[in-house]
Chain A
Amino acid sequence: MIRFENVSKAYKGAEGDALHDISLEILKGEFVFLVGASGSGKTTFLKLLLREEVADGGSVYVAGRDIGQLSHWRVPQLRRNLGCIFQDFRLLPSRTVAENVAFALEVIGRPRSVIKEQVGQVLELVGLGQKHHRMPDELSGGEQQRVAIARAFVNRPLVLLADEPTGNLDPATSQGIMKLLDRINRTGTTVVMATHDVGIVDAMRRRVIELDHGKLIRDQARGVYGYDNSSTSRGIPAVSVASVLDEDLGPATGRVAAVRARRGIR
């Protein structure tokens, strides 16, 4: 579904690469956490997928297409296949819940009957079936993020990109959002989620891709936020990762069997 081949990206005036020689593949239906400190390249990773940025070197493939080669006018088509949610929800404050969701379909020219049906369905899915006519500022943060998810998912995208979707939410609410993302993932939608939330990553036990200063330093199936959380209660990852890296990680192998075996993970 998504493939990075030796992708590098540097911003003008910035020191070092935002992403450096990243190669990986994400299959259809996978749920992937993208972790790493601020400035590690997570957001750049997502921007490349959305083609808000273009890689300086290497190629990014989405659904078999090299999106760096897409002509300008094809970009909207790409974005229709990618749903996107953010830490700050990005809802339109002057529109109701239903209008916010419908907007995503209106502006890509879907007929009214389709819009009505799909908006109803997706709001039911995210658990806001009773709140069609509420304004965003009347909703809690968790509910607002559900609206944002409904908007991102209403067009049934192939991939859902989430940039710290729980960053503004309390743990209980975050858990609800994660259940929802998990349910969406079970419909076959690939989910890529950038996050800092240790608890969530650890609880979900999904594939974890870790970036550090633009480099891919870990790609682990059923991973946790940091390697060492078994010894400390919930260790700060960056330090422990570095120590484990040397013994375990070949950069290209990706999923680290040795680590998994040691932990007794399947």
Chain B
Amino acid sequence: MALSLEYFAKETASNLWRNRVMGLAAVLTVAVSLSLVGTSLLLRQAVNRQVSQFGANTSLAIFVNPSATTQQQADIRSTISQTPQITHCTFLNHEQSYEQAKRVLASAPAAVSVLTPATTPTVFGGQLSNPADATTLMATFQGVPGVYMATSPVQSIHVLEQVTNVLQVVLIVIALLLLVSSLVLILNAIRMAIFARRREVSVMKLVGATNWFIRVPFMLEGLVQGLLGSAVAVFVVLLANLGVGYLVHRYHVSVLSSTVLPAHDVLMTELIVVLVGAVVGVAGSTVAVRRFLDV
């Protein structure tokens, strides 16, 4: 058995080396394809995390018209307290609202410069028990007298999700096409390996080597090609996550910090990448062995 393992390792290594040009094409295609799979998985997770972070404090911001009467303000306040979907409410006066505006609009100093504390609308901030209610509530409060505007980030989250979905579908479709071509490339690489080894194979059949013994080196070759491709992809995925982390840090966009995935999630993604690589390699070589190695 020990000898067989050594034999398989030797045969596989020499097959890989003989066949290195075809093998390289197969490996690179697997690498590109799995990099796409990996990064699209990362993207999906990052967006989900970001959305759930937003969702956790999904809020309704009700800007009060600066010309609103005190009575109207009191009415708004009581309407909010009578709305069961709003669990918690904060009020920002002109000063506080101006401070918040300066923070939110930090990247647009021109907009801030036209604001004064007096002209900045006061804001009721409401916490929602269920983000799904946001749209209805926005419409309701838009109609209350004295309300300048009612907004919720739900809309932009929705857009973000839609864009992500489309992007992910596109990435997955490209990745699948590339996976199919890498399967074909591996299949072809193994076919050529079998052809190059036809003398050995015929001798092996003649002296009574078992079918599995003949097949294993070729299947291992496919597996190794798939795994080499996924190794490259693992590296790419790791770099992608580190890159996002660097950008978030570099440009101080702490709002997006949850797009940087924790090690555990990255590890899961990497595992999937490796698994898919292995499956593609074994599948390609199995088809090749079944079709071209009639034992």
Contact = CB atoms under 8 A, between A and B. Distances in A.
Interface stretch (B126-134, B201-209, B240-248): B201-209
A103 B208 contact: no
Interface in A80-124: 80-82, 84, 90, 92-93, 103-104, 106-112
Contacts of A20: none
A112 to B, nearest CB: 5
Given A76-B209, A76-B211, A90-B199, A112 B3 contact: yes
Interface in B224-264: none
A110 B3 CA distance: 8
A104 B213 contact: no
Interface in B71-111: none
Nearest to A148: B203
B208 A108 contact: yes
B3 A107 contact: no
B4 interface: yes
Q: What is the interface residue range for chain B against chain A?
A: 10 to 19
B7 A73 contact: no
Nearest to B205: A79
B293 to A, nearest CB: 14
Interface in A136-156: 151-152, 155
B265 interface: no
B206 A79 contact: yes
Nearest to A82: B208
Contact of B213 (A75, A77, A103, A107): A107
B202 A90 contact: yes
Contacts of B7: 106-107
B211 A108 contact: no
B222 to A, nearest CB: 20
Contacts of B211: 72-73, 76
B199 A107 contact: no
A206 to B, nearest CB: 24
A78 interface: yes
Nearest 9 pairs between A and B by C-beta? Answer: A80-B208, A79-B208, A107-B209, A104-B207, A76-B208, A76-B210, A107-B204, A84-B206, A112-B3
Given A76-B208, A106-B3, A107-B7, 12 more contacts: A75-B208, A80-B207, A81-B208, A82-B208, A103-B207, A104-B207, A107-B207, A108-B208, A109-B1, A151-B203, A151-B207, A155-B207
23 contacts: A72-B211, A73-B211, A75-B208, A76-B209, A76-B210, A78-B208, A79-B207, A79-B208, A82-B208, A84-B206, A90-B203, A103-B200, A104-B203, A104-B207, A107-B203, A107-B204, A107-B207, A107-B213, A108-B209, A109-B213, A111-B3, A112-B3, A151-B203
Interface of A: 50, 72-73, 75-82, 84, 90, 92-93, 103-104, 106-112, 151-152, 155
